[in-house]
Amino acid sequence: MTIKGDNQTITASQKPIIKEEVKLQFHWYLLAFFTIYTLSFVLPGIIFTLYLHFFFTPYFLGVKNFLSIFRELNSLIILLLMPLVIIICYLIHLFFVALTTRFFWRHTEKISPTKDGIIPRNIQSKILNYYNIRSFMIKYPKNAFVKGPFPWLINWLYNFVGTNKIGKGTTIEEQFGADRYVDIGDNCYIGVNSGFSSHSVSGIFGNISYFEIKVGDNVTTSALNCLAPGVQINDNAYLLPMAGAVKHTILKGDNNYYFGAPLRKIFKKKILEYLKISEDYLEINEELAKKNQKYQLIKNEIEKLE
């Protein structure tokens, strides 16, 4: 391809390429992190300090006779309440982590809303700047919830902050990525080390593909499953271990099983090879399923009669 001018001809390969340095904006990253981290410890720190000063120290640590701790009711109650106070303070800490993150997140969404599209990295833009800020902002809250004693609260964090939409009855195991722009339906199971990436970079300095991942109801991803931007999985689909979907893949679900990378529907013969079993085992399993169904029907009839 050539471009003809008045006095010269320029080939496409000779066209100047626009390149700009990405603004890392470390001051905004540090401000968001230290604000979230500091504010989340203020109230639980005050509560725990007051409990230590007015209750734990005088009634437990300040007791001269050790045996009197177990003879006096006040000292014993204060001692037994200590784990409960720690748990309450920790939950308050998590709540303020989510609350502060929600404030910053919604502020950035008002300025530059999240939407599908290709984000150029060699051209400065408001979309690119706030994409990077949100990417950094969610990392500490996610780890604070997942790495703590209450990892199941991660569903609440995503819904409360607004990074993802997680349906009722859905279980999310520890995973990498999947912290923003993912919509998961009801009663799903997201297996260990699954990676749902709503963004991907084309090469080292390439553009960013940013598209929402949508997962329907009753979907199971067993383990080590990877989904690229724009993937849509409809209801009642099952992904076997290490199955991966490329960009904009659409799975119809309907009780189908998928395997491989890129994933595809698995059929009966392939299931036997995959699980290394014979057809006799499938027949036994079908018979057991029928017997279990009959048992449930009889049980329901008996319960109605009672």
H, E, C per residue of 64-79: CCCCHHHHCHHHHHHH
| DSSP classification of residue 17 | P
What are the E-state strand segments in the chain? 2-4, 9-11, 117-119, 165-166, 171-172, 176-177, 182-184, 189-192, 195-196, 199-201, 208-210, 213-215, 220-223, 226-227, 232-233, 237-239, 244-245, 250-251, 256-259, 264-265
Q: What is the mean pLDDT of residues 247-276?
A: 83
CA 102 to CA 111: how far, in whole Å? 14
Question: In the chain, which segments carry CATH 2.160.10.10?
Answer: 165-267
How would residue 6 be classed by pLDDT, with cut points 50, 70 and 90? Answer: very low
Q: Convert the pLDDT of each residue in 221-247 to its tens digit.
A: 988 999 999 999 999 999 988 999 999
How would residue 23 be classed by pLDDT, with cut points 50, 70 and 90? Answer: low
Task: Report the DSSP beta bridge partners of residue 210.
Answer: 117, 199
Is a pLDDT exceeding 80 seen at residue 122?
A: no
Q: What local confidence, expressed as pLDDT, does residue 24 receive? A: 63
Q: Convert the pLDDT of each residue in 42-64 to its tens digit.
A: 999 999 999 999 998 888 877 77
Q: What local confidence, expressed as pLDDT, does residue 2 receive? A: 45
Q: Tell me what the pLDDT averaged over the chain comes to.
A: 85
Is a pLDDT exceeding 50 seen at residue 1?
A: no
Backbone dihedral region for residue 207 (phi beyond 0: left; psi -120 to 50: alpha; all else: beta): beta
CA 219 to CA 237: how far, in whole Å? 5
- Mean pLDDT is lowest, of 32-36, 125-129, 187-191, for 125-129
Question: pTM for this structure?
Answer: 0.78
Q: How far is CA 60 from CA 51, 72, 90, 106, 246, in A?
A: 11, 10, 22, 45, 60
Is a pLDDT exceeding 60 seen at residue 14?
A: no
CA 295 to CA 219: how far, in whole Å? 27
Phi, psi of 230 (to 5 degrees): 80, 5
Q: Convert the pLDDT of each residue in 156-170 to its tens digit.
A: 999 999 999 999 999
Write out the two tokens for 234. Answer: 């409809």
Q: What is the mean pLDDT of residues 245-255?
A: 90
2.160.10.10, 2.70.170.10, 3.30.2320.50, 3.40.50.720: CATH of 165-267: 2.160.10.10
Q: What is the mean pLDDT of residues 248-268?
A: 87
- Check whether the bond before 83 is cis (ω within 30° of 0): no
